[in-house]
Structure 1
Amino acid sequence: ARGIEPDDPAFPADGYRGEYIQDIARDYLAGATVQASDGDPIQASGDLDDLDAIRRFAVAYLRREQDLDLQAFDLRFDNYYLESSLYTSGRVERTVQALIDAGHTYERDGALWLRTTELGTGDDKDRVMRKSEGGYTYFVPDVAYHVAKWERGFRHAINIQGTDHHGTIARVRAGLQGLGLGIPADYPAYVLHKMVRVMRDGAEVKISKRAGSYVTLRDLIDWVGRDAVRFFLAQRRADSEFVFDIDLALSHSEENPVYYIQYAHARIHSLLRQHDAGSRAQAADPSLLTAPTEITLLQRLAEYPGVLTQAARELAPHQLAFWLRDCAADFHAWYNAERILVDDPALGAARLRLARATAQVIANGLGLLGVSAPERM
Structure 2
Amino acid sequence: MSKATKTIHAAMAAHVSSALDALQAAGTLPEGIERGNVTVEPTRDPAHGDLATNAAMVLAKPAKTNPRALAESLAEELRKVDAIDSVEIAGPGFINLRLSDNAWRDELRAIAALGETYGRSTVGEGTRVNVEYVSANPTGPMHMGHCRGAVVGDALAGLLEFAGHDVTREYYVNDAGSQVDTLARSAHLRYREAHGQDIGDIPEGYYPGEYLKPVGEAARERFGDTYLEATESEWLPVFRGFAVERMIELIKADLALLGIEHDLFASEAELQAAGKPEAAEAWLREHDLVYDGELEAPKGKTLDDWEPVELPLFRATRFGDDQDRPIRKSDGSWTYFGADLAYHFQKAENADALIDIWGADHSGTVKRIKAAVAALTEGSGRNVPFDVKLVQMVQLLRDGEPVKMSKRSGQFVTLADVVREVGKDVVRFTMLTRKPDAQMEFDFAKVVEASKDNPVFYVQYAHARIASTLRKATAAGVAPSADGLDRLGEEELALVKVAAQFPRIVESAAAAREPHRIAFYLQDLAAAFHAFWNLGNDRPEMRILVEDDAEITSARLFLAERIGQVVRNGLAILGVEAVDEL
**TM-score normalized by the length of structure 2:** 0.57
Q: Which residue, out of 311, 326, 331, partners 1:133? A: 331
Given that 2:209 and 2:411 are in contact with CA atoms closer than 8 Å, whether structure 1 keeps it comes out as yes
Judged with a 3 Å threshold, the aligned counterparts in structure 2 of structure 1 residues 72 and 347 are, in CA distance, closer, same or farther, namely same
Q: Distance in 2 between matches of 1:10 and 1:279?
A: 69
| 1:10-36 superposed Cα distances (whole Å, 9 cap, x missing partner) | 643x323532465367436x6145xxx
- Aligned partner of 1:172 in structure 2 is 369
Secondary structure at the aligned position of 2:581 is classed as coil
Q: Distance in 2 between matches of 1:10 and 1:372?
A: 45
* Pairing of 1:217-366 with structure 2 (within 5 A): 217-276=415-474, 279-286=479-486, 288-291=488-491, 294-338=492-536, 339-342=543-546, 343-366=548-571
Secondary structure at the aligned position of 2:395 is classed as strand
Aligned length: 360
Q: Distance in 1 between matches of 2:216 and 2:527?
A: 52
Q: Distance in 2 between matches of 1:230 and 1:258?
A: 9
- Aligned partner of 2:12 in structure 1 is none
- Note the C-alpha offset of 1:194: 0.9
1:150 aligns with 2:348: yes
Q: Distance in 1 between matches of 2:225 and 2:346?
A: 32
- Note the C-alpha offset of 1:168: 2.4
Which residues of structure 1 form unaligned runs of 5+? 34-41
Q: Distance in 2 between matches of 1:115 and 1:244?
A: 42
- Note the C-alpha offset of 1:242: 0.9
* Pairing of 1:63-102 with structure 2 (within 5 A): 63-102=248-287
Q: Which residue, out of 206, 209, 224, partners 1:19? A: 209
Q: Distance in 1 between matches of 2:358 and 2:383?
A: 20
Aligned AA for 1:340?
I
Secondary structure at the aligned position of 1:157 is classed as strand
| 1:58-80 superposed Cα distances (whole Å, 9 cap, x missing partner) | 21221111011111112111111
Q: Distance in 2 between matches of 1:44 and 1:295?
A: 74
Deviates more, 1:79-88 or 1:165-174: 165-174
| 1:274-326 superposed Cα distances (whole Å, 9 cap, x missing partner) | 224874423132563223xx344222112212221221111111111121112
Judged with a 3 Å threshold, the aligned counterparts in structure 2 of structure 1 residues 15 and 371 are, in CA distance, closer, same or farther, namely same
1:184 aligns with 2:383: yes
- Aligned partner of 2:576 in structure 1 is 371
Given that 2:480 and 2:556 are in contact with CA atoms closer than 8 Å, whether structure 1 keeps it comes out as no
1:57 aligns with 2:242: yes
- Aligned partner of 1:203 in structure 2 is 401
Judged with a 3 Å threshold, the aligned counterparts in structure 2 of structure 1 residues 45 and 209 are, in CA distance, closer, same or farther, namely farther
Secondary structure at the aligned position of 2:501 is classed as helix
1:161 aligns with 2:358: yes
Aligned AA for 2:516?
H
Q: Distance in 1 between matches of 2:383 and 2:210?
A: 41
Aligned AA for 1:161?
W
1:111 aligns with 2:311: yes
Query: RMSD of the alignment, in Å?
Result: 2.7
Aligned AA for 1:87?
Q
- Aligned partner of 2:220 in structure 1 is 31
Q: Distance in 2 between matches of 1:322 and 1:314?
A: 14
Given that 1:16 and 1:210 are in contact with CA atoms closer than 8 Å, whether structure 2 keeps it comes out as no
Secondary structure at the aligned position of 1:81 is classed as strand
Given that 1:197 and 1:243 are in contact with CA atoms closer than 8 Å, whether structure 2 keeps it comes out as yes
Given that 1:249 and 1:256 are in contact with CA atoms closer than 8 Å, whether structure 2 keeps it comes out as yes
Q: Distance in 2 between matches of 1:156 and 1:177?
A: 12
Bigger relative contact order (CA 8 A; separation at least 6): 2
Q: Distance in 1 between matches of 2:375 and 2:520?
A: 40
- Percent identity over paired residues: 37
Deviates more, 1:255-264 or 1:75-84: 255-264
Judged with a 3 Å threshold, the aligned counterparts in structure 2 of structure 1 residues 32 and 230 are, in CA distance, closer, same or farther, namely farther
Q: Distance in 1 between matches of 2:356 and 2:245?
A: 24
1:193 aligns with 2:391: yes
Q: Distance in 2 between matches of 1:252 and 1:241?
A: 24
Judged with a 3 Å threshold, the aligned counterparts in structure 2 of structure 1 residues 72 and 246 are, in CA distance, closer, same or farther, namely same
Secondary structure at the aligned position of 1:350 is classed as helix
Judged with a 3 Å threshold, the aligned counterparts in structure 2 of structure 1 residues 20 and 172 are, in CA distance, closer, same or farther, namely farther
